[in-house]
Homo-oligomer: A and B are copies of this chain.
Amino acid sequence: MKPLILFRVDPRAVDPASALQRVEPDAPLLTATDLAATRGDGVFETIVVVDGIPQAVEAHLDRFERSARLLDLPAPDRAVWRRAVEAVAAELRVPRGAVKYVLSRGDEATGALTGWALGFAPLRQRAEPPAETDAVLLDRGYRSDVAKTSPWLLQGAKTLSYAVNMAANREARRRGAGEVIFVSSDGYILEGPNSTVIARIDGEYITPPVEFGILPGTTQADAFDALRTEDERVAVRALTPADLFTADALWLCSSTRGAAPVRSLDGRPVPVDHDVTRRIFAHLNARKA
């Protein structure tokens, strides 16, 4: 997707007002020695913007900080990055767009951190809840406890090293599906390459624990808020593939789409609850920053 807006962000700026520099989105920005490009060595977030309002900004900044900490990067200055998000969002003059912001370990030749923030638009119109999707289960190769035993594997960090996620998405397409749900080597449901899982089982909405080395889902968290408001039962608990195959509904949550209903898993039909999907979508769109 072609970005409409690009700001170079100086992660070390003392004054947030001077941290941003507007540049042409299709002009070269990064040197060939930027560690983002040479090592996938950086972190990022993507925030949806509805009618000019960036959604769940603080939750995304929290996760950005967490990812930076897991990668031993200098702590991002929240004021700088908040301003970057707001500056991009203010210019996205469509009902639904997105801001992506990136912190790289920087240029290996100079040692200077690099940062940038992009604006994309339009995304799917806000009036339209996410389409049904077909998912497949794929082995993530890691045990569910590696975030504890082996933190250098960076599970739970949203890094630029996404080649495995992209390869998994290609494997899903080869299998005629649109989405992946990763399974740990010890048999637990983890997350999608770009999404968080919610399963409804016996009326309870369940998402796997972040202790399994997955990202804290900002959209899943707000979907749970919506469900709590409606007095639904929500829980954070381990799930297995068998649980998903017998779920009475299943969603994959991501910022840009919301909670997308899964209609099949490994080719087996999964019931879709359009009513709940619509209600979660309405709640997400009504968020303030």
Chain A 83-114, CB within 8 Å of chain B: the 1/0 string?
Answer: 00000000000000000101011001110000
Q: Number of A residues contacting the other chain (C-beta, 8 Å)?
A: 62
Copies held by the complex: 2
Q: Which residue of B lies closest to A38 (CB)?
A: B160
**A109 proximity list for chain B (CB < 8 A):** 1-3, 25-26
**A146 proximity list for chain B (CB < 8 A):** 139, 141
Choose one: B1, B41, B142, B171; the contact of A152 (CB below 8 Å): B171
Given contacts A3-B33, A31-B27, A33-B3, contact A40 B167 (CB under 8 A): no
Identify which of residues 23-80 in chain A touch chain B, using a CB-to-CB cut-off of 8 Å: 25-42, 44, 71-72
A229 sits at the interface (CB 8 A) = no
**A104 proximity list for chain B (CB < 8 A):** 37
**A150 proximity list for chain B (CB < 8 A):** 138-139, 141
Q: Which residue of B lies closest to A25 (CB)?
A: B32
Q: How far in angstroms is the closest Cβ of chain B from A93? A: 19
* Complex A-B: 20 CB contacts under 8 Å: A2-B109, A2-B110, A25-B33, A27-B31, A29-B30, A30-B30, A32-B102, A32-B116, A36-B37, A37-B37, A37-B102, A38-B100, A39-B40, A139-B153, A141-B143, A142-B142, A151-B171, A152-B168, A152-B170, A161-B163
